A and B are shown apart, each in its own frame.
Chain A
Amino acid sequence: MDSDIRIDAETKAPPAPVFAPPPAVAHPALLEFEKPLLRIQQDIAMLEVEQSQTGRDHSAEIRQQQARLVAKTKRLYSNLTAWETVLVARHAQRPLITDHIRNIVQDFCELHGDRGFGDDRAMVTGFGRIGGHKVMIVGHNKGKDTKERLICNFGCAHPEGYRKALRKMKLAEKFHLPVVCMIDTQGAYPGIGSEERGISQAIAVNMMEMSRLRVPIVCVVIGEGGSGGALGIGVGDRVAVFQNAFYSVISAEGCAAILWKTADQRERAAEALKFTARDLKRMEIIDDILPEPLGGAHRNPMEASRTLEKYLTETLSELSRPRIDTVVKRRYERFRQIASFFNDPSSDADKPLSRKRGGVGQAFARVRRIASTDPVEIPDLSS
């Protein structure tokens, strides 16, 4: 049987139901904090039913209610707490890598296996075309329904998943194809096999090799960015996070359990960890935030995919212009300078970047990034 995920644009047969995502869902399952929307949705439904049954014209009222629904959704979503963001990022109908591939990748050619141990279904890899660019796509797959989720361990990859990803990235390097990584995982799989086969080593090696891979790499967190499991395919020239996605060193639940000694404090932990796209952008840990459709990507997966397509197309074009040496050098500098939040009294506080090599040494308030712009000219202050 064809075990490929049915996202191939040329597949004639309708996709197997397992992988067929629902089309744009009118009213996806409501999250706890979205409950205020329910009343309005019910009102609209009732008016529609009444209209069709009695023939009376309620269109004005319906329009009014719909406007209320939009306004309310806007209000809810303009002010999400960190924990609510987590709920949106984990929404069961949030578009997954398979949706994005189906929506925006032409001629997807899936490639399986790590040539060593097996084919980890938590990691999807393959050739594809995005907006005219031939690319290698690598990303976590959480699975659409129970059956698929079990096959892909809910997007938690084993070492062979990370090695599969690296093998395909090396293949891309050999034939000069840029790499697109879609990150969506709670984290690497915590299990016996995972440890036995060296999950630590697999993630470490991926980061090391990605930092020097001689093709452009664009990473996008499309849902959950879970710790080392995310970073294992997360070293790139650009790192973007969808508006309602997040990227964290530990889950809010895990953090609460360790620091507060109770999982009940997950909302506080979520707030404290500052892992939303906005926070990360402010700390210059990520480069870009991709806007989502009103009410989250799950309310209009196609629109979310289009945003992703536009971002990838533009970014890949931008990264294709400089020489690859320059791209790799800037990528290195990006990660060399990243997250330099510490105090270094020995560096002169007046100097924005104190020394030419390794001299990051600035207090965090004056952290600078040289990632996505031309290399910053470092003034030679020694003379």
Chain B
Amino acid sequence: MVQKRDVPAGVWDNCQHCGHMVYLKEVEENLHCCPECGHHRRIDARTRIEHLVDPGSFDELYADLSPADPLKFKDRIPYRERLKEVQQATGERDAVVVGRAFIRGRAVILAVMNPSFIMASMGAVVGEKITRAIERAMEEDLPLVAVTASGGARMQEGMVSLMQMAKTSAALARFDDAKGLYIVVATDPTTAGVAASFASLGDVILAEPGAMIGFAGPRVIKNTIKTELPENFQTAEFMMQKGFVDRIVKRQDLRREIARIIDYCGK
């Protein structure tokens, strides 16, 4: 038995799901899934891209778009400062990374949301980059793959953020008219404004096991209806059972499954 205090920080960790002591290097090699119970940990956009695309094939697009502060929003701290902090901590300008890539040799336009950036909330930059990704996929006649994760609209951008829901959905209508293939990979957590726009409009919707997928926050629901929520409520499994997710796919199988769907759709 390893004594915890003898272990340098960041080497061992308890799985948030099964509680097992896990060796972080092993977790990492396992695509950030628990080797004991298979729990899929949240990962940032760059790690996700590394897992998903053929090595060295990612060619980033629209990387220099950065958020403005249209409302001059200030809660306990000003939005500008919050942004600066997060940008420094993550090295990203905003919460989505978009680019062209190959997945098992198939060219795709890829959009990956970053839960480490204000819980990947959607403001004007996320909306614009997703929309441009859709337009690019349409222009180049490539499949679009969106790996979604989000707490919802970014409150600090007010109605500007809400309008991104309409904008992305409208762009997807055009992509749909053009017979484009759009694959969603819903990861933990895909909720609120993102769930209620482009994350729910995939031709095929895949989800990682255990991912939280839902519209309203569980606390809000509990306070409204004043009863306990069913077990596994708002999980990927629940959403598949209710008919809103096509397949649950483990992280290690994602590349293969995406390639397979692209082939079936002849794209």
Contact = CB atoms under 8 A, between A and B. Distances in A.
Nearest to B195: A200
B224 A339 contact: no
Contacts of A189: 224
Interface string B142-162: 000000000001011111111
B177 interface: yes
B221 A191 contact: yes
B176 interface: yes
B173 A208 contact: yes
B248 to A, nearest CB: 17
Given A199-B215, A208-B170, A211-B170, A358 B160 contact: no
Contacts of A196: 242
Contacts of B160: 283, 285, 339, 341
- Interface size class of chain A, counting residues whose CB lies under 8 Å from the partner chain: 35 or more
Contact of B159 (A188, A248, A345): A248
Interface stretch (B51-59, B101-109, B121-129, B258-266): B121-129
Majority secondary structure of chain B interface residues (helix, strand, loop or mixed): helix
Contacts of B68: 341-343, 363-364
B174 to A, nearest CB: 7
A33 interface: no
Contacts, number: 203
Contacts of B176: 208
A211 B216 CA distance: 24
A192 B71 contact: no
A204 B155 contact: no
Interface string B65-89: 1111011011110000000000000
B165 A228 contact: yes
Contacts of A200: 195-196, 199-200, 213-215, 244
A19 interface: no
Interface string A270-306: 0011110000100101000000000000000000000
Contact of B170 (A336, A343, A357, A364): A336
Given A283-B160, A285-B160, A364-B70, A235 B221 contact: no
Contacts of A61: none
B171 interface: yes
Interface string A146-183: 00000000000000000000000000000000000000
B169 A188 contact: no
Contacts of A360: 128
A255 interface: yes
Contacts of A343: 65-68
B131 A285 contact: no
A24 interface: no
B201 interface: yes
A66 interface: no
A340 B224 CA distance: 34
A139 interface: no
A249 B198 contact: no
A322 to B, nearest CB: 19
B162 A228 contact: yes
A192 B169 contact: no
Contacts of A249: 153, 155, 157-159, 161-162, 193
Interface stretch (B1-9, B19-27, B28-36, B225-233): B225-233
Contact of A344 (B65, B158, B198, B244): B65
24 contacts: A190-B220, A195-B242, A200-B199, A208-B170, A208-B173, A228-B162, A228-B165, A231-B162, A231-B166, A248-B162, A249-B161, A272-B71, A272-B75, A273-B71, A274-B159, A336-B131, A339-B159, A342-B68, A342-B124, A343-B67, A343-B68, A357-B135, A358-B131, A364-B124
Interface of A: 188-192, 194-201, 203-205, 207-209, 211-212, 227-228, 231-232, 234-235, 247-250, 254-255, 258-260, 269, 272-275, 280, 283, 285, 332, 335-336, 338-346, 357-358, 360-361, 363-364
